[in-house]
Structure 1
């Protein structure tokens, strides 16, 4: 036996591992690039405002909380950065990441490019649950629980409607979401109609428009529990989304229970939506816009789409929130800006995917 015949399997194995290492290296560089972009956006958001703080001082203020740095910043700068802007930036990062991941998961689960918590009525259901809790005079964990229950109820109704009409599941999901969302929105409008116009109505209306103006470390902690918990579960299962996209029969053949996996992922999305709605009201369209931008950049592999969506979604919502408090003297609710950007994007998606929705080749 010659040495060349002995070494041939080892050489083949090394050649097979080389592309895999290159692919994982590119993925890591991509994630690091988006993470660096998020850091730059966050520092910019901490710097921009009516009271401008130099970026180098922002870095020193943040590092000075854990390292014994010489104080070169003014007390006012420290107050603005740590007590006013940092909670808001942390909340925008948390909500943007969660909403983008939730949208990516729903699009993969339903195999529908138009699926999102907003389009499928989950946000409206969560709003209804949250408004009921506000009307009862509760907040905090009760608000998260009410929003979660409303989101789950909306999701169950949409899935039931889609299954009731076989043959056009993609169309029925969109139509079902529209109907369910309109129904819950009508109930929200009824609650605002009967609410006390002096004590209850202003807080309900402002909450429904979506805003991070009242951000605090307490709200960051309140939202972090459901969003981080559900996000960790979703990211741990992201490779299974690729299997789920192959169809239920192939997924079952590969040892994956599609119904159980689908239900678990949808509960996670409802939990993320509930955590977001409970602290910031309805911030729509993030879950529709960001995942499509990510797929244009990195492809359709959910092992990359989900973590990149989290990073880009966090940066996207931080930019939108910075604009909402900087464009005018009176702050613009963030839900208004995300809708202004997201609605035209949704129309473009409808036009691009019309053949899949209506079965037309035109």
Structure 2
């Protein structure tokens, strides 16, 4: 299939939709730079807060918990500082990074599968379905333990409804899939609104609103494990199909001519996107603009090839989410903004700039 992408059918000799590839900066350089930015962002973000924590304290705490003192690494740190780093700040920062990476990967894949530049991970109604599950748990007062499970189950049920509605004789036409996702999303939003109106009382309104707008408050190591495992397993599976995604960028006909089973591949990849998005939404709530904006920003830097776009989008999404969450928890301290509000404030102007640059570049 790789050779077919550059020969044979004239339609496949064109570049995938998107800005021209910039060859003067190797992908390895971008990868190294974004990885360094991610590590530095995570370290600095952990130091920011009311308690005076330094960057060296962060690495000392990490070293003490992973056993680096056995090889001579100096890990002396007070119990209080170690608790602030290891139990409070670091899990939240790592959860933000994993969620950002997951949403960015899913956004890039969705934009290609649907051939819609405005597609995002929530296009299939996943966010609205997760919201139904989460709101039901919050209203019933089941507790935070059941919240991620209910949100994930709601996301999967929404996906099943969307695919069942979109399927036509075993096929999943992109336009029909988008419309089905919108229908399911509106239905789930109506159910959520009804449950809130009918049952929510007292402080449950604040908890529900915080979750619906996205929040990483109270993130734990369990959350880190869930989302990181999803990114490692499902994200890697999606990245391994980068050349298949390149073929989809030319359209279903071209992909079929290259020997790809279009319907089966689209079903499989949409299911993988749903799993990864569901894992992210289950621990963070609905966070917009990350999956929409970051893939486009990365394409402006490295071109449209998914072998480059997917890993770099993951790194960029992770760094972006770390700083968005840091702003959310510190700017109005001791009050905390929902991180979804921050991503919208940061994402909307940035996306407008990207659109203007793209328009100018094509003029």
Q: CA shift at 1:140, angstroms?
A: 5.7
Distance 1:353 1:125 in 2: 33
The aligned counterpart of 1:319 is 323
Distance 1:90 1:195 in 2: 34
Q: Return closer, same or farther for 1:273/1:90 CA change in 2, 3 Å cut-off.
A: same
Q: CA shift at 1:306, angstroms?
A: 0.4
Larger deviation: 137-146 or 92-101? 137-146
Q: CA shift at 1:272, angstroms?
A: 1.6
Q: Where does 1:313-352 land on structure 2 (aligned, <5 Å)?
A: 313-329=317-333, 330-344=335-349
The aligned counterpart of 2:59 is 59
**Is 1:146 the counterpart of 2:147 in the alignment?**
no
Q: CA shift at 1:303, angstroms?
A: 0.7
Q: Is the 8 A contact 1:41 1:319 kept in 2?
A: yes
The aligned counterpart of 1:131 is 135
Q: Is the 8 A contact 2:297 2:354 kept in 1?
A: no
List per-residue Cα deviations over 1:335-356 (Å, max 9, x = no partner): 11112233455667788999xx
List per-residue Cα deviations over 1:7-55 (Å, max 9, x = no partner): xxxxxxxxxxxxxxxx8x9322321221111001000111111113111
**Is 1:301 the counterpart of 2:305 in the alignment?**
yes
Q: CA shift at 1:274, angstroms?
A: 1.1
Q: CA shift at 1:231, angstroms?
A: 1.2
RMSD: 3.2
Q: Structure 2 regions of 5+ residues with no counterpart? A: 1-22
**Is 1:73 the counterpart of 2:83 in the alignment?**
no
Distance 2:303 2:136 in 1: 41
Larger radius of gyration: 1
**Is 1:44 the counterpart of 2:41 in the alignment?**
no
Distance 1:158 1:226 in 2: 26
Equivalent residue of 2:26, what SS? helix
Q: CA shift at 1:311, angstroms?
A: 0.5
Equivalent residue of 2:49, what SS? coil
Distance 1:320 1:141 in 2: 22
Q: Which one of 94, 101, 105 corresponds to residue 97 of structure 1?
A: 101
Distance 2:193 2:179 in 1: 21
Q: TM-score, normalised by structure 1?
A: 0.80
Larger deviation: 138-147 or 243-252? 138-147
List per-residue Cα deviations over 1:136-194 (Å, max 9, x = no partner): 63716632542332440464378469x99x9xx66x77666555433322221111112
Q: Is the 8 A contact 1:286 1:342 kept in 2?
A: yes
